[in-house]
Amino acid sequence: MLNQNIKNYFKQKNCLVTGGTGMIGREISKILVNFGANVKAISLDKIKIHDKVDHVYGDLTSLEFCKDQTKDMDCVFHVAGIKGSVKVTIEKPASFFVPLLMFNTNVLEASRINKVKKLVYTSSIGAYSNNEVFVESDDNDQGPPMDMYPGWAKRMAEMQIKAYQAQYNLEDYSIVRPCNVYGPGDNFDPENAMVIPSLMFRIRSGEDPMRIWGDGSAIRDFAFARDVAEGTIQALFHGTRGKYLNLGSGKAVTIKELVETLNSFLKFKYEFDTSKSSGWPKRLMDISLAREMIGYNPSTSLKDGLLETWNWFLDNEGEHKLKKNYFK
């Protein structure tokens, strides 16, 4: 997806990646380094992802820290976020909401103050209101976001960028909304992991049979982290003109298909517990606008993405212990 013009643009550019050790952030950092950019990755994880990346351990909830780190940057990829299961979202909403509000506000304001030329912010599918198919709109989102507390925090950052556009004409501050992202670097902590890493952890733990809530008919959109990283780079390069763009896989996958795909290369027994809820029946992103505006065209198949993620997990089973845990 990344053509020669994009590669040439980033050569010798000073690029900041917040959340640079996360799934999307580490892929962005590696791609930019390979393009010849000077990359600084900020994180509270005690992880190093590339020898040529300048790793900075620091807290983005400090405005002064953010101003120091965004100084002399040509491009900022604000990818830092907090991931957690539905359970921790319900039980510990402030642990999501407050840090997200603080570091979103600070990174964006520091970038504005330091006149960063281009910035892209990764929002989330969770900022949408409940629906079956999510399509970008020029109108404000109707109703509360699906992910109540983190969803509102994501919307506030989007609104902050719109405010900059209205007052300061900052046309090169862009927004993307990724769907359910998975890949190397995912959070495999069993206490708060999302669907795919949770399943992989349970398989690795030898759960026999693995009981899965619902009948497997629920439809989801699972995008591979590298595809989303490339889309995020495209969004920064081309600009989204104040709109948010969906970054999904472009494919509908049932939970049953997901489990069967895992079972095609991993041997484990499983059964669906139809006495439990399957959750929302369908959540799928329309990526037509991203295809049109920035040339987004995710190409990683579900099986290839899952296999790469599994192999990474086997080599890095304890990495989640080195990640900042906002829920402890």
**Where residue 35 falls among pLDDT bands split at 50, 70, 90?**
very high
Q: How far is CA 271 from the centre of its chain?
A: 30
Category of 169 on φ-ψ map: left (φ > 0), alpha (ψ -120 to 50) or beta: left
3-state secondary structure of 230: helix
Q: How far is CA 259 from the centre of its chain?
A: 22
Query: In this structure, are residues 175 and 232 in contact, taking their beta carbons and an 8 Å threshold?
Result: no
Average pLDDT, integer, range 8-16? 98
Which residues does 277 contact at the CB level (< 8 Å), separation at least 6? 213, 214
> In the prediction, which pLDDT does 249 show?
97
Give this prediction's pTM: 0.95
Structure tokens at 297: 């065209």
**Of the ranges 46-55, 77-86, 168-177, 293-302, which one carries the lowest mean pLDDT score?**
77-86
**Of the ranges 90-94, 261-265, 305-309, which one carries the lowest mean pLDDT score?**
90-94
**Of the ranges 108-112, 173-177, 191-195, 225-229, which one carries the lowest mean pLDDT score?**
191-195
Peptide linkage before 209 cis (omega within 30 of 0): yes
Residue with the bigger pLDDT between 6 and 323: it is 6
State the fold for domain 4-322.
Rossmann fold (3.40.50)
Tell me the pLDDT tens digit for each residue of 110-143: 999 999 999 999 999 999 999 999 999 866 667 8
Picking from 257, 143, 159, 259, the residue whose alpha carbon sits closest to that of residue 199 is: 259
Average pLDDT, integer, range 230-234? 98
CA–CA dist 4, 264 (Å, integer): 37
pLDDT at 28 over 70: yes
**Where residue 154 falls among pLDDT bands split at 50, 70, 90?**
very high
Query: In this structure, are residues 82 and 326 in contact, taking their beta carbons and an 8 Å threshold?
Result: yes
Q: For 60, which DSSP code?
A: T
CA–CA dist 221, 136 (Å, integer): 16
Structure tokens at 82: 């907090």
